[in-house]
Amino acid sequence: PAVYFTLANAYLQTGDIETARTHLATARKYAKKPEEKEIVENLSVLLEARAKSAFAPRPGEKLVRTEGMAVAVECGNDVQKLQFRNFEGSLITVDLPATAAVEIIHQGTGHLQLQCGPVTPFRAVIEYGLASAVRQGSVGVLRSLQF
């Protein structure tokens, strides 16, 4: 199942939801161990949340990865945005979809709460899908947050 899981994840990262679903279904068919089934189910939840999101991925979506510090959450007009200062010194803003649509990778103790306004800065690596020319005030949509 690992090969099909990896293919499903790769297609999800490039915005090809339907092909990702196909490979995930095959991975599910071959997953026998409880930990394999859990990994497949977790990816399935992420995939479906992204597919239903107001910020659903588009086929061919390109991901950008950057490291830095999360500094604030901007809220308004039914849209939340994460403000992030990368280590090059640039302040970037990314759209925040529903939590279930973001891959959260956390190592260590503690938990994350993103509420409107300034946040206690924390070091993170983010990946975001580049914004279309239509969206204003954001470089893209948060897809992954590692802290």
Res. 129: pLDDT tops 90: yes
The tens digit of pLDDT for each residue in 25-47 reads 999 999 999 999 999 999 999 99
The Cα–Cα gap between 106 and 125 comes to: 11
| Top-tier CATH class for 63-146 | mainly beta
Number of neighbouring beta carbons within 10 Å of residue 141: 28
3-state SS of 4-36 is HHHHHHHHHHCCCHHHHHHHHHHHHHHCCCHHH
Runs of H (alpha helix) within the chain: 2-13, 17-30, 34-52
Res. 82: pLDDT tops 70: yes
> The whole model's pTM is what?
0.85
Q: Are 28 and 42 in contact (CB under 8 A)?
A: no
Domain boundaries, the chain: 2-52, 63-146
Res. 4: pLDDT tops 60: yes
The Cα–Cα gap between 69 and 132 comes to: 24
Q: What confidence tier does 83 reach under pLDDT thresholds 50, 70, 90?
A: very high
Res. 133: pLDDT tops 60: no
